[in-house]
Structure 1
């Protein structure tokens, strides 16, 4: 079944914040966009976040184009605050979202004509034609759990951090959290506060640990000020301040990291900024341990040769983007599976195919999604005028959404 969408020249895949921002920005440029979402609601991934989650970026610097996050969310909005905000965002901009549509592959409509657009293969035999595609599936598409030797024989519960919601079910139990990023640190602290008998945090690569704000100055603002600085220079500028203001947890099993903060961030390792985490580690309530190597029945063998016997394992071990399955055959990804071009730029041989939400900058992901959306919209509008020889439709012609998007 082929559905032609010439009246909607842009298809945005993913109704998370990146997709919503892109659609709203395109609309402001007079471009009709259809947002395609595999879940039943916009912002679905945020609905599944753990209850204690709060942003490490400020309310004012986390809003999407055209609508502020309300003051009631406080300085550091929670996941429920964001879900409510995304719902209002859809209504405010009258975005058109098709839910329950899972795109599995993107192909060139005509390999001989680079301006022919794209074919989106989706569930139910759908085949959608789109002159321009914005892939906004984000970095957190598919939870990843390492295939540790012996894992199948572990008798306890194993869950990914994506499926952790609250500490109640784990009260009185020994829990091993694997992964020392922000999610791992947040969940470890939540478990400790929620009454877990013991909480260990398995660490393969020590993270940078820093305050979310120092003397009222958010760390995000420093990231914004230095966002265009080369990584080596940013590393040097922050090294001295890290020594002065960053905690030294070496005596508690969490040594200082080796790499620079900016270099690590651009490799995807964001600094840990969890209020209360450092205090819990220093007081022995969260105990860092070596990385997980393998399993032997109920015992977990660590990289230093020691063993633990936890009741529950929470794997805060990251995600896979899912881009290889979607577009890996198009030659638009590098050897690490990341897009060769991002935002307004497109990869050679793949015009009119844009990516957003595949970075994790110190300046804040939501802020960068905002900026990306506006740049993409301008680039798409220019390209559309060149291809069509006419100006795009006025934004006022966008109808009421045809698909319910709120939960």
Structure 2
């Protein structure tokens, strides 16, 4: 794009989702700018805690057009992922603006154009795209739960989005609130750094051993599948062509196999005081991810530390308040802590819209993720689909794109095609009612999600 040329599409967020969508749009000839608040492509990975490693296998995580090389590790460390994304933006020649923050956006219904004010390295610029895509991650802003007495706590209190390393907590007592993916990962990092760690589990967690999931849950994305001619592209189509209404039955059968296969493991974990479930309908991790984006962990080592007592666990008691020296539970017991890390997740992506566009527009489009059209009683074709993701929303010319690497890879193609069609003036009728608030199957708190890793949802 020239300095005076306006983009047809502005992608807000230059993490994995924004980068993949930018690549798709460029290949389709759609003038696009991708803006990223960090200093370098890939910093959304680099800036996370030291031990973050993808829990999904490499065959599941390829980017469009350029697969990972054959010598790539099965599970990618965060900095290696960040470097790959940086390389990818250069090789794919993306119009990618770093150190750029989106300040505001408003839509002119008459002119059918957005006015988006951005701060690019201290200089304010107004862009006039026809479409904007929020690719700000799988989630929205950090969700900070109310902790009575937080003002009296004399130690350090952090949300996991602020956590980088356990080094400074060596020899200190640390409580980690949250028992999903980041809660486990942060606990392991703290334990490896020499802290005394206790996990506070507020609700049961679905845990699946990584080795088991690779063998019985990820067969379609594996070396064996490739040997049988099932490429990543074919596997994507097989997964995407299964209607959501049919997924629970298959997942329930899968988790019956997993529960029997790892029964001794689950018995040991329960005996350590850790609460386990497999969802209200026993469908396990994938349906939790689709429905709420919360409450699951792929075990890559933390569970053994809990079983062995190296990571303490407090489950089945609610936090009553913080005290100057720790946490008071509702059963009257106390836990001494020098620091508290709250792995309490993130709000829905539409909360980012509220801060950039308006509260009115955010409420009009409603929360993202969760199954349902978004309209109570709506029998239309979108009922039972993922809400707001990769499709037209209740706000014209506003889109959401995100998810883990696999979802971002596959659905970036279809978001890009929809935007390309509009640019070319091709008829694009929208069937059914766009998503907004009020779905019967909402994530908790109207879209809040517990914390997964930066890879987002996984199979």
Superposition TM-score, scaled by structure 1 size: 0.83
Task: Name the CA distance, whole Å, in 1 between partners of 2:102 and 2:346.
Answer: 18
Backbone CA RMSD of aligned residues: 2.7
CA distance 1:338–1:245, shift in 2 (3 Å): same
| Shift, 1:147, TM fit | 2.6
| Shift, 1:378, TM fit | 1.1
2:361 pairs, out of 321, 330, 333, with 330
CA distance 1:194–1:55, shift in 2 (3 Å): same
2:326 pairs, out of 299, 312, 319, with 299
CA distance 1:215–1:383, shift in 2 (3 Å): closer
CA distance 1:301–1:245, shift in 2 (3 Å): farther
What secondary structure sits across from 2:165 in the alignment? coil
Partner residue in 2 for 1:351? 396
| Shift, 1:125, TM fit | 4.5
Alpha-carbon contact 1:18-1:369 (below 8 Å) kept = yes
Task: Name the CA distance, whole Å, in 2 between partners of 1:338 and 1:264.
Answer: 11
Is residue 163 from structure 1 mapped to residue 168 from structure 2 by the alignment? no
Alpha-carbon contact 2:39-2:99 (below 8 Å) kept = yes
Task: Name the CA distance, whole Å, in 2 between partners of 1:101 and 1:216.
Answer: 38
2:405 pairs, out of 360, 366, 375, with 366
Alpha-carbon contact 1:18-1:136 (below 8 Å) kept = yes
Map 1:69-218; keep pairs closer than 5 Å. Answer: 69-109=68-108, 111-113=109-111, 116-123=112-119, 124-196=123-195, 198-214=196-212, 217=215
- Number of residue-to-residue matches in the alignment: 374
Is residue 282 from structure 1 mapped to residue 321 from structure 2 by the alignment? no
For each residue in 1:345-370, what CA deviation from the matched residue of structure 2 results, as whole angstroms up to 9, or x when unmatched?
2124x33322101x4xxxxx100001
Partner residue in 2 for 1:256? 276
Partner residue in 1 for 2:424? 385
For each residue in 1:221-268, what CA deviation from the matched residue of structure 2 results, as whole angstroms up to 9, or x when unmatched?
579776634354245223412421352322211122252424422211
Alpha-carbon contact 2:369-2:389 (below 8 Å) kept = no
For each residue in 1:163-186, what CA deviation from the matched residue of structure 2 results, as whole angstroms up to 9, or x when unmatched?
323332222111111111111101
- Any stretches of 5+ residues in structure 1 without a counterpart? 360-364, 389-407
Alpha-carbon contact 1:9-1:130 (below 8 Å) kept = yes
For each residue in 1:146-173, what CA deviation from the matched residue of structure 2 results, as whole angstroms up to 9, or x when unmatched?
2310011111112222232333222211
Is residue 240 from structure 1 mapped to residue 239 from structure 2 by the alignment? no
Alpha-carbon contact 1:135-1:356 (below 8 Å) kept = yes
CA distance 1:208–1:333, shift in 2 (3 Å): farther
| Shift, 1:305, TM fit | 3.4
| Shift, 1:82, TM fit | 0.4
Task: Name the CA distance, whole Å, in 1 between partners of 2:254 and 2:220.
Answer: 10
Of the two structures, which has the highest relative contact order with CA contacts closer than 8 Å and spacing of 6 or more?
Answer: 1
Alpha-carbon contact 1:160-1:315 (below 8 Å) kept = yes
For each residue in 1:52-104, what CA deviation from the matched residue of structure 2 results, as whole angstroms up to 9, or x when unmatched?
11111111221221122234440000001101101110111011112222113
Alpha-carbon contact 2:322-2:328 (below 8 Å) kept = yes
Task: Name the CA distance, whole Å, in 2 between partners of 1:100 and 1:173.
Answer: 35
